[in-house]
Amino acid sequence: MSTQLPTQIPTGGYNFAYLDEQTKRMIRRAILKAVAIPGYQVPFGSREMPLPYGWGTGGIQVTAAIIGPEDTLKVIDQGADDTTNAVNIRSFFQKTTGVATTEKTREASLIQTRHRIPETALSEGQIMVYQVPIPEPLRWLEPREGETRKMHGLAEYGVMQVKLYEDIAHYGHISTAYDYPVRVNGRYIMSPSPIPKFDNPKMDNSPALQLFGAGREKRIYAIPPYTSVKSLDFEDHPFEIETWDGACAICGATDSYLDEIVTDDTGGRIFVCSDTDYCGERVEAGHKGADDEEKAA
Amino acid sequence: MTGTLLAGLADPTLDSQRLFRAALEALSRPGRIVTLPDTLPDGPPAPLMPATAALALALFDYETPVWLDEVANTPAVCDWLRFHCGCPLVTDKAAADFAIIAGALPDLSDFPVGSDAFPDRSATLLVQVAGLEAGGDLRLSGPGIDGDISITIKGLPDTLPTLWEANQSLFPCGLDLLLTAGSMLLGLPRTTRIDRRKE
């Protein structure tokens, strides 16, 4: 059956969105089951992609299976639109689908992300696609797939609580700072991918659909919109996100996740928003950085 | 097969994508009635509805055994599905990945519901109903729904809430439903709770 792509869609000689139709159907069926069982990792036949495992092949396959000509795509890597991984994945989809791309969170219908959730609140109709390296939250505690599968099946998650408890016994607090495990819809324990725990609360009851793809590990999972996502904790050690004393050096934000940037070889450093779009929007709105304000004073 | 075979999707690539996105929208936001784009140049083979036929083309292939109920199991439908999707048609419900139900709701207990270890290995049922309307006496809640949402499903037995409760009690196993009426679609994943609103 020949595909009749409208001539205005340039796809670089490949099928629309690179993958063949049978592969897309297989991934789509996996995504539908993932949505029906929130937090459960659906195995799928992950394909070789034109970049190595570990560079977002799972996220790319999920995006390729869902993207259409009407979509506007945003790709971020640790919050930034202009880093290697983000730039290359964005240009991959520009080449193979011709879809519109944007750096604005608000304008995107589809956001593929590596390790961050945008600071700007997501809205209904948006879809987040996360790149996931290790989808199994229990993997570091139990290396055998057969066992972890059984533990998920029986909701036998005591070992994870013990791990968090041991953190408290050793350090006085839960030391996990990223890929902090969550419980989805009161049932499955799920890896939120290596986002900072700062982003975990954004997953809870989000109006957007969240899809997760792990290419090397061949798993797809999902959180439907308006679904409860609770970070694991204890009554006397409730879940807490990171806080900073400082503000972003560029836009002065105190409510966003900050990256530390080394500026010279004599120990100079600044803190800036990890979400470049959020930072840029604030600067456009006239906000000044912490450094600028000091100079002005 | 004679010249009576109806055409498939006009644009197999982009139409499948649009149809899948509609199915994704329906399953991730249960209770929201989604209207599918018009993708079948010749219309569906009777007695399939446009939505049922279009979803079949978007989701079925040689990897998905399909079960047809007595009403849907006509030579025209079988030939059409075999030609366009290449899907195996099975008579054993337990072997089906998908089912098309065009008549009365059959006994659901024979369809695969998955296992504790692999709850995804469960059937998805395409069920044709007489009508879908927003508002009404069925109240849906659960993942994908902000609070609750009311709908009317015409042509399903009044015992639906009870039937569905049995399905829900299997969680994480269970069946997922895609209800179609004309070109409208409503998703009922296993996580959705259905109550009959008491006046």
Q: What is the pLDDT of residues A40-86, one digit of tens each?
A: 999 999 999 999 999 999 999 999 999 999 999 999 999 999 999 99
Tell me how many domains chain B contains: 1
pLDDT in tens, A267-288: 999 999 999 999 999 999 999 8
pLDDT of A260 higher than 70: yes
Alpha carbons A56 and A67: distance in angstroms, whole number: 16
Query: A251 catalytic, yes or no?
Result: yes
Confirm whether B113 is domain-assigned: yes
How does residue B157 score in pLDDT terms, banded at 50, 70 and 90?
Answer: confident
Is residue B28 included in any domain, yes or no? Answer: yes
pLDDT of residue B1 exceeding 70, the answer is no
Query: Any idea what the CATH number is for the domain that residue B168 is in?
Result: 3.40.50.11310
Using a CB–CB cutoff of 8 Å, tell me whether B167 touches chain A: no
Cβ–Cβ contact B44 with A under 8 A: no
Instruction: Strands of A132-228 (E only): list them.
Output: 182-184, 188-190, 209-214, 219-223
Domain membership of residue B196 (yes or no) is no
Strand boundaries in chain A, DSSP class E: 42-43, 72-77, 100-101, 110-114, 127-131, 182-184, 188-190, 209-214, 219-223, 229-231, 258-262, 269-273
The pLDDT-based confidence of A13 (bands split at 50, 70, 90) is: confident
Residue A1 has pLDDT above 50, yes or no: no
A248 is catalytic: yes
pLDDT at B158: 86
Whether residue B163 is contained in a domain is answered as: yes
Q: B2 in a domain, yes or no? A: no
Query: Is residue B79, in this structure, part of any structural domain at all?
Result: yes
- Give the range of the structural domain holding residue B164, as residue numbers without chain letter: 12-187
Verify whether the Cβ–Cβ distance B115 to A153 is below 8 Å.
yes
At residue A175 the predicted structure's pLDDT band, cuts being 50, 70 and 90, is very high
**Interface test mutation site (partner B, options A23, A27, A33, A109, max chain B beta carbons within 10 A):** A33
Residue B126 has pLDDT above 50, yes or no: yes
For position B68, what pLDDT does the model report?
98
How big is the A-B interface in CB pairs under 8 Å? 125
Residue B135 resides in a domain: yes
Q: Is residue B41 assigned to a domain?
A: yes
Q: Which of A142-156, A158-172, B152-166 has the lowest mean pLDDT?
A: B152-166
Residue B21, chain A, CB below 8 Å: the answer is yes
Is residue A119's pLDDT more than 80? yes
One of A59, A215, A252, A273 is an active-site residue; which one?
A273
Q: Is B12's pLDDT higher than 80?
A: yes
